[in-house]
Amino acid sequence: MRHQSDLAVISRDHGGEYASAAREGASQAIQCADRFHIVKNLTEAIQVLLARCQAEILAEKKQRASGSDEQKTPVISIEEWRPPEPAYVEKVRLARRAGRYAHYQQVVESRQQGMKPQAIAQQLGQSVRTMQRWLAAGTFPETKKRRKRQSSFDVFAPYVLKRWQEGERNGLALWREIKAQGYTGTANGVYRHLETLKQAEVRASINPERIQKYSVNTAIWLFMRDPQKLDEIEREDLVAFCQASAPL
């Protein structure tokens, strides 16, 4: 075999013959696995991890279901984990609530005086359907909290939560760790999410039905394929796995 002195790197499979030939023909070159075998090795490693994590996820779900501990600290799901509401937003929200509550009190008092919903609605400038709904509820109807918008932090939330539970409280350090993993947000965004952890407990809400429908051999492709090529349901399933398990 002719010596190849100009080669710096040799990409090869795992065959011993290829390794021997590379050492003999280009001893100065660095040998590395080819692309196919790197992906193959990664796939096999994730399959092992998936099998372990799926078992842990379901076991934790059963343990939580059987537990009866009283929770004094507010608990929110990791899907709803968001920064605390800014003071000016809270002020506006509470002002609007006060106005709605005053209207509700008028509705109740008018009804007790014998007024019909149509007359009450006309008096307060509200729709009849709203009046009927308020009266049927029997209590002041709180507005539903707005659905949380997706953010670049969400995919890294399980990791940050895990590090927080391990005792890491340095926001800058956590930002640097997830930035190295691909996080594109600012350090301030991480700080704001950590403020929520000081006020409430964040837990990964587990959807066992969503996870159980996958075998290890099918779930692996959620992790190995380009996320942009997953359909909407597959992306939601991938998020469900990641939210339930920080290692995943």
pTM metric for this prediction:
0.43
CA-angle at 85, arms to 81 and 88, nearest 5°: 170
Per-residue pLDDT of the chain (248 residues; tens, 9 = 90+): 567 777 888 888 877 788 888 888 888 888 888 888 888 889 999 999 988 888 887 777 666 666 545 556 677 777 778 887 766 666 776 777 777 788 788 888 888 888 888 888 888 787 888 888 877 877 777 776 665 567 888 888 888 988 998 899 999 999 999 999 889 999 999 999 999 888 888 876 666 677 778 888 888 999 998 888 888 888 888 888 887 787 88
Q: How far is CA 173 from CA 2, 21, 156, 170, 202, in A?
A: 52, 46, 14, 5, 20
Cα 245 to Cα 57: distance, rounded to the nearest angstrom: 7
How far, in Å, CA of 143 to CA of 100, rounded?
A: 10
E strands in 78-205: 201-203
**Kind and range of the H or E element at 75?**
strand 75-77
Asked if 22 and 31 touch (Cβ cutoff 8 Å), the reply is: yes
- The Cα–Cα gap between 66 and 60 comes to 10
Three-class secondary structure of residue 80 per DSSP: helix
Of 225, 208, 174, nearest to 46 (Cα)? 225
